[in-house]
Amino acid sequence: MPELLKLDNVSINFGGLTAVDGLNMTLTKGNIRALIGPNGAGKSTIFNLVTGIYAPSMGKIFFQDQIINKLSPHIITSMGIARTFQNIRLFSNLSVIDNVKIGHHCRSGGSFIGALLRTLATKKEEALIQKRALDCLALMELTDKAEELAGNLSYGEQRRLEIARALATKPALLCLDEPAAGMNPIEKEKLANIIRKIKHMGITIFLVEHDMKFVMNLAERVTVLDYGKKITSGTPAEVQHNPAVIEAYLGKEVI
Ligand SMILES: Nc1ncnc2c1ncn2[C@@H]1O[C@H](COP(=O)(O)OP(=O)(O)OP(=O)(O)O)[C@@H](O)[C@H]1O
Ligand SMILES: [Mg+2]
């Protein structure tokens, strides 16, 4: 199986704090990889490194064999890495479908002048963007909410809308930062099924999540992080029985 994303000895320091410390990690194309660890372990920081929000202090990040360390988030998105955020970031005063169309923006070839002049090419592109946005909403089971204001959606629906927007960028790698946070068990079940569907579309998933049942049911491999360092990596069964993992989660009874 080919490698999609590779972190080679990646570290980042914030002042005196090493938030990610010499991390080596490889994501196989087409898999669901989970990244777990206690609060402050460095999980979201890894997503920020992979998506270009931060540049590593040390080490290299490869995506499809290209070094992406110093590329801007915009370029990294256009190369095929999309993400959602731990804290929902939607335009609550825009409609649901407009929030998804914003995701298309990085893929669109239409120029600003073209948009102003409403050229035929731009109109064609707009129709395409509308269709793709509707496809993404259908996948996330939000078709009937397309014209509602994003701010009026339930919490679970807003989380799914964030994923729809990320999918609109046509990613090869989708990074989900706590997608099930705040969801009830029924919403979580629905989300798990949708994530499986996304995987079957050939999109590789990088999943950060605190709900261990959710993680262990979905991921092929799980990497465990504590204080910025990898404790272990393996199948869900291997990881759950690892004494160092149990130690990191001691008292939390999450595994
Ligand atoms: N921009 C920053 N400046 C300074 N410190 C930061 C910055 N970003 C993250 N950190 C620190 O890095 C560490 C890792 O944070 P991170 O948000 O990656 O943790 P996490 O594993 O996502 O935790 P959680 O499960 O609570 O979301 C924390 O100690 C955090 O305070
Ligand atoms: Mg986090």
Is residue 86 situated within a structural domain?
Answer: no
Residue 253 has pLDDT above 80, yes or no: no
d(C-alpha 106, C-alpha 136), whole Å? 16
pTM of the model: 0.91
Is residue 122 situated within a structural domain?
Answer: yes
Residue 110 has pLDDT above 80, yes or no: no
Residues 96 and 142 in one domain: yes
Residue 107 has pLDDT above 80, yes or no: no
Question: Which residue's CA is the nearest one to ligand 1's atom 24?
Answer: 39
132 CB under 6 A from ligand 1? Answer: no
Residues 158 and 176 in one domain: no
d(C-alpha 82, C-alpha 94), whole Å? 21
Residues 175 and 255 in one domain: yes
20 CB under 6 A from ligand 1? Answer: no
Instruction: Indicate the number of domains in the chain.
Output: 2
Residues 6 or more apart from 32 whose CB is under 8 A from it?
A: 195, 199, 204, 205, 207, 218, 219, 220
pLDDT at res. 206 = 98
Residues 9 and 61 in one domain: yes
| Domain final residue pick, 145, 168, 191 | 168
Confidence band, pLDDT 50/70/90 cuts, at residue 162: very high
Residues 199 and 132 in one domain: no
Is residue 193 situated within a structural domain?
Answer: yes
42 CB under 6 A from ligand 1? Answer: yes
pLDDT at res. 102 = 84
Residues 191 and 160 in one domain: no
Nearest ligand for residue 46 CA: 1
233 CB under 6 A from ligand 1? Answer: no
Ligand 1 atom having least distance to the Cα of 45: 18
Is residue 85 situated within a structural domain?
Answer: no
Residues 163 and 197 in one domain: no
Q: What is the CATH number of the domain that holds 17?
A: 3.40.50.300
Residue 249 has pLDDT above 80, yes or no: no
Residue 180 has pLDDT above 60, yes or no: yes
Nearest ligand for residue 248 CA: 1
Is residue 111 situated within a structural domain?
Answer: yes
Q: How far is the CA of 175 from the centre of ligand 1 (A)?
A: 17
Q: What 3 state SS string does the chain have?
A: CCEEEEEEEEEEEECCEEEEEEEEEEEECCCEEEEECCCCCCHHHHHHHHCCCCCCCEEEEEECCEECCCCCHHHHHHHCEEECCCCCCCCCCCEHHHHHHHHHHHHCCCCHHHHHHCCHHHHHHHHHHHHHHHHHHHHCCCHHHCCCEHHHCCHHHHHHHHHHHHHCCCCCEEEEECCCCCCCHHHHHHHHHHHHHHHHCCCEEEEECCCHHHHHHHCCEEEEEECCEEEEEECHHHHHCCHHHHHHCCCCCCC
d(C-alpha 106, C-alpha 68), whole Å? 17
Mean pLDDT along residues 98-112:
70
Ligand 1 atom having least distance to the Cα of 54: 1
Q: Report strand pairing: 204-208 vs 66-67.
A: unpaired
Residue 71 has pLDDT above 90, yes or no: yes
Is residue 243 situated within a structural domain?
Answer: yes
Residues 101 and 164 in one domain: yes
**CA angle 47–48–51, rounded 5-degree value:** 80
Residues 101 and 161 in one domain: yes
Residues 59 and 101 in one domain: no
Q: How far is the CA of 108 from the centre of ligand 2 (A)?
A: 30
151 CB under 6 A from ligand 1? Answer: no
Residues 104 and 161 in one domain: yes
| Domain final residue pick, 168, 203, 219 | 168
- Across the chain, what does the average pLDDT equal? 91
Nearest ligand for residue 177 CA: 2
Residues 150 and 176 in one domain: no
Question: Over pLDDT 90: what percentage of the chain?
Answer: 80
| Domain final residue pick, 119, 135, 168 | 168
pLDDT at res. 118 = 56
**Structural domain boundaries, residue 160:** 91-168
